[in-house]
């Protein structure tokens, strides 16, 4: 997977290729516009024809190291790997972060001898890039405090299913300028989707991520805007997205954040500012009554469980792409099973 030029930042290093030339998925910006569009098409093909790929990853093994709790990410990666004939091994790192007991380099050098792909869910983004720097096998970012690329790709797959085309759509994101906002901007820019991100000033997205997304948008025609007014972001939006006001690791800030973010709650009144056909999106888990009300998340406009379902299919596509260079023309091995 090729990469876009990256705006310099100590937190956001260039995407890493292993000594053997194997590629990773660390950031949504690792995908060129063409690769992002192709990956979504491949994921839709996998979703429509799962039986054709039930042996695509036979003999392949995936190790998952998670420093944070997970429902959707863990199960969709495990189910996706198993559904294509591979095996998954889960390592719970919630009690001890990677790099503490032994160096990231030593961890990577061990793991590359045993398995074919690593899936990491960590606090520090540098943990994922550090493993990728030293591992000669693919590394997938399953969430860091900086980005959540797999979720963002599943989200745009969902929008593509609902609207038929992504080019020119407008996605309004309201709430915390967190890892979810970052990956939505980067992936959306690559796919030609306009993003209007509204956050409190002190919780705005990282400037270097915004700059990177805007740079990508110059190539694809996508407009990336950051503002503080949630109503202004919503006007005319085709999709409305929000996330928890306090992410994992920020629970002690929940009470203070709730006061600041209250104007950004997606309720019936705010949702009415979007286009009549707008859909509501959330990466889950949702804190009902905080960032979103029951009336919105349970409404006919809500596509949150479509998003959750598509985590399975986009991750299958990512695994197949990284492990065997698969595209929509991947050889159909099940026909001779």
- Catalytic-labelled residue, pool 176, 182, 243, 313: 243
- Catalytic-labelled residue, pool 125, 148, 182, 257: 148
- Catalytic-labelled residue, pool 93, 151, 212, 321: 151
Backbone torsions φ then ψ of 124, nearest 5 degrees: -80, 130
Strands 61-66, 117-121: pairing is parallel
Q: Is-catalytic flag, 283?
A: yes
Q: Is-catalytic flag, 121?
A: yes
Q: Is-catalytic flag, 148?
A: yes
Q: Are 36 and 187 in contact (CB under 8 A)?
A: yes
Q: Is-catalytic flag, 151?
A: yes
Q: Are 205 and 180 in contact (CB under 8 A)?
A: no
- Catalytic-labelled residue, pool 155, 283, 313, 321: 283
Angle between helices 149-163 and 304-324 (to 10 degrees): 120
Q: Is-catalytic flag, 243?
A: yes
- Catalytic-labelled residue, pool 55, 72, 74, 121: 121
Contacts of 240 (CB under 8 A, 6+ apart): 171, 172, 174, 234, 266, 271, 274, 278, 279, 280, 281
DSSP letter string over 243-280?
A: --SS-TT-GGGHHHHHHHHGGG-B-HHHHTTS-TT-EE
Q: Is-catalytic flag, 49?
A: no
Residues serving a catalytic function are 121, 148, 151, 243, 283, 311
């Amino acid at each position: 997977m090729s990469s876009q030029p990256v705006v310099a930042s100590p937190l956001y290093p260039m995407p890493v290729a292993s000594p053997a030339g194997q590629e990773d998925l660390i950031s949504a910006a690792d995908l060129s516009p063409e690769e992002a569009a192709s990956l979504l098409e491949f994921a839709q093909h996998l979703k429509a024809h799962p039986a054709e790929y039930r042996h695509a990853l036979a003999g392949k093994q995936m190790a998952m190291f998670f420093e944070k709790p997970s429902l959707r990410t863990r199960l969709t990666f495990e189910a996706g790997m198993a559904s294509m004939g591979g095996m998954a091994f889960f390592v719970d790192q919630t009690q001890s972060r990677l790099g503490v007991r032994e160096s990231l380099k030593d961890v990577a050098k061990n793991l590359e001898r045993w398995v074919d792909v690593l899936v990491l869910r960590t606090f520090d983004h540098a943990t994922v890039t550090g493993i990728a720097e030293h591992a000669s096998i693919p590394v997938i970012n399953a969430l860091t405090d900086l980005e959540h690329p797999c979720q963002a790709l599943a989200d745009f797959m969902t929008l593509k299913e609902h609207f038929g085309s992504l080019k020119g759509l407008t996605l309004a994101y309201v709430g915390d300028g967190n890892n979810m906002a970052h990956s939505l901007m980067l992936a959306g820019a690559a796919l030609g989707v306009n993003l209007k991100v509204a956050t409190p000033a002190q919780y705005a997205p990282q400037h270097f991520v915004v700059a990177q997304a805007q740079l990508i948008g110059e190539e694809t025609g996508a407009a990336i805007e950051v503002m503080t007014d949630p109503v202004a972001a919503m006007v005319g939006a085709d999709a409305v997205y929000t996330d928890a006001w306090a992410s994992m690791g920020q629970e002690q800030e929940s009470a203070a954040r709730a006061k600041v973010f209250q104007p950004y709650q997606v309720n019936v009144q705010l949702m009415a500012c979007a286009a009549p056909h707008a859909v509501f999106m959330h990466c889950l888990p949702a804190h009902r009554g905080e960032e979103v009300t029951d009336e919105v998340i349970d409404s006919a406009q809500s596509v949150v469980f479509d998003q959750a379902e598509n985590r399975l299919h986009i991750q299958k596509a990512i695994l197949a792409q990284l492990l065997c260079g698969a595209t929509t023309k991947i050889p159909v091995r099940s026909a001779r099973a």
